[in-house]
């Protein structure tokens, strides 16, 4: 039986684990809200898949907006969108999760099968978990090539958004990530607490008072 994930759910545990990754909870929440607000601005007349695709893409944008000023590097090599930490040790990608996302008592999966680049990243994660490799010197790494990959996993319904930042370790035969070594689980965001979408609002950068730096990359 596979070893269960280490869950970091309580505030102190979350912040300690995030600190080790060079991140903090306020930053992660800001990224989550950036993508969610973009989803909320989609028209009810949009095609069914468009809000979810928009949220996924704009969550990547939000992560880059807040992390590039901290010397993280956007990387779209092989059409695999991620952002890599300044020391090349950590990479973050965004994926949609299933209904168990953000729930500590259940093991989530990615909602859709992932491609060969995700499979390679999961394999590298497992290699770095082996004794003697997990603390390999970052000076010998090409940034982003031999780094830990973490998934910013999102699940949104009509009532709330649940999200977590988790380190994948296993995929099924169809390519879905089904197991994780570490899961940093955040409190859900109540959809009703968000500013109402306005059809007359033409400012795509308006986040209802959420302070997100907007810079050209």
User: 52-95 pLDDT, tens per residue?
Assistant: 999 999 999 999 999 999 999 999 999 999 999 999 999 999 99
CB 168 within 8 A of CB 95: no
Average pLDDT value over all residues in the chain: 86
Q: Any idea where the domains of the chain sit in the sequence?
A: 6-192
Residues in the chain: 217
Distance CA 111, CA 89 (A): 26
Cα separation of the two ends of the chain: 45
Share of the chain above pLDDT 70, in %: 82
Distance CA 207, CA 33 (A): 8
Distance CA 193, CA 184 (A): 23
Position 193 scores a pLDDT of: 86
Assign 117 to helix, strand or coil: helix
Does residue 207 register a pLDDT over 50? no
Does residue 217 register a pLDDT over 60? no
CB 110 within 8 A of CB 151: yes
Q: What are phi and psi of 160, to 5 degrees?
A: -155, 165
Does residue 49 register a pLDDT over 50? yes
Does residue 144 register a pLDDT over 60? no
* Residue in the structure block whose two tokens are 């370790």: 169
Position 4 scores a pLDDT of: 86
Highest averaged pLDDT of the listed ranges 26-40, 116-130, 140-154: 26-40
Mean pLDDT over 12-22 rounds to 96
- Among 90-99, 133-142, 151-160, the range scoring the smallest mean pLDDT is 133-142
- Among 1-10, 40-49, 103-112, the range scoring the smallest mean pLDDT is 1-10
* Residue in the structure block whose two tokens are 């102190």: 12
Does residue 202 register a pLDDT over 90? no
Bigger pLDDT: 142 or 22?
22
Mean pLDDT over 193-199 rounds to 70
CB 184 within 8 A of CB 165: yes
CB 89 within 8 A of CB 138: yes
User: 31-43 pLDDT, tens per residue?
Assistant: 999 999 999 999 9
Distance CA 152, CA 37 (A): 16
Cα distances (Å, whole numbers) of residue 213 to 65, 163, 189: 6, 22, 21
Position 139 scores a pLDDT of: 35
User: pTM of this prediction?
Assistant: 0.84
């Amino acid at each position: 039986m596979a070893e269960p994930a280490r869950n970091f759910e309580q505030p102190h545990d979350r912040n300690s684990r995030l600190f080790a990754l060079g991140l903090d909870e306020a930053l992660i929440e800001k990224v989550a809200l950036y993508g969610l607000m973009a989803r909320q601005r989609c028209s009810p007349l949009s095609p069914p898949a468009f809000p979810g695709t928009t949220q996924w893409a704009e969550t990547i944008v939000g992560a880059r907006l807040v992390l590039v000023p901290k010397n993280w590097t956007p990387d779209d090599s092989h059409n695999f969108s991620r952002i890599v930490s300044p020391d090349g040790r950590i990479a973050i990608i965004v994926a949609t999760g299933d209904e168990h996302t953000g729930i500590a008592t259940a093991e989530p999966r990615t909602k859709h099968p992932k491609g060969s680049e995700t499979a390679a990243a999961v394999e590298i994660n497992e290699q770095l978990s082996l004794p003697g490799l997990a603390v390999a010197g970052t000076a010998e790494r090409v940034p982003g090539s031999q780094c830990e990959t973490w998934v910013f996993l999102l699940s949104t319904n009509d009532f709330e958004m649940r999200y977590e930042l988790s380190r994948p370790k296993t995929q099924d035969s169809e390519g879905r990530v089904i197991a994780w070594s570490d899961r940093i689980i955040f409190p859900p965001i109540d959809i009703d607490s968000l500013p109402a979408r306005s059809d007359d609002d033409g400012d795509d950068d308006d986040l209802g008072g959420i302070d997100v730096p907007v810079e050209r990359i």
